[in-house]
Amino acid sequence: MRSARRKRRSKRLQRLGLILAVAVFALDQISKPWILSVFEDRFQAIEILPFFNLVLVYNRGVSFGMFTNDLTHGPYLLAGLAVVIAACVWWFLLRRCEKTIMAIAAGLIIGGAFGNALDRLLYGAVVDFLDFHAAGYHWPAFNVADCAIVVGAAVLVFDGLFGGAKPLKE
């Protein structure tokens, strides 16, 4: 009886993670063609709030423009790496996830990783467009997928530190 209940809970968590991954991926992929259409004839940032602009940046690097490369196969290598990481997180979701918060984190990371991987294949870079700034300092531009990955990773870290995680039993 306990095992059947545990399997049902595991299936619910897997479904939750998958639904969230698909939602993040869809929102990310809807936002990018939209921003590309907004900037079709424009080269300047669009001020939305005194601390927030819409911009168009093609990120050929890893995260926040770090490790930018102009290698011919760079986008394919980085897209492949993102897919491998997403697959590992998916494996975790299928095999080890026992808490709702972990399913949410996994779904966020998977959806974001696939969103950015598809960008690299379609555009040769990740399309970033959210630009926050204050006192002359700008945070590197980012997108919906980046937000999901960062929030998912922060949730994993927070849960690992403060979530009362139980050691895994083999």
Question: Known catalytic residues?
Answer: 128, 146
Q: What is the Cα–Cα distance from 148 to 74, expressed in whole angstroms?
A: 23
Pull the structure tokens for residue 94: 């299928």
Tell which phi-psi region holds residue 129, choosing left (phi > 0), alpha (psi between -120 and 50) or beta: alpha
Reduced to 3 states (helix: H, G, I; strand: E, B; else coil), residue 36 is: helix
Task: Give CA separation, 163 vs 98, 101, 150, 155, 157, in Å.
Answer: 12, 9, 18, 10, 9
Nearest to 95 by CA among 163, 1, 170, 22: 170
What type of residue sits at position 146? Answer: D
DSSP assigned state of 39: T
Angle between helix 100-123 and 2-38 (nearest 10): 30
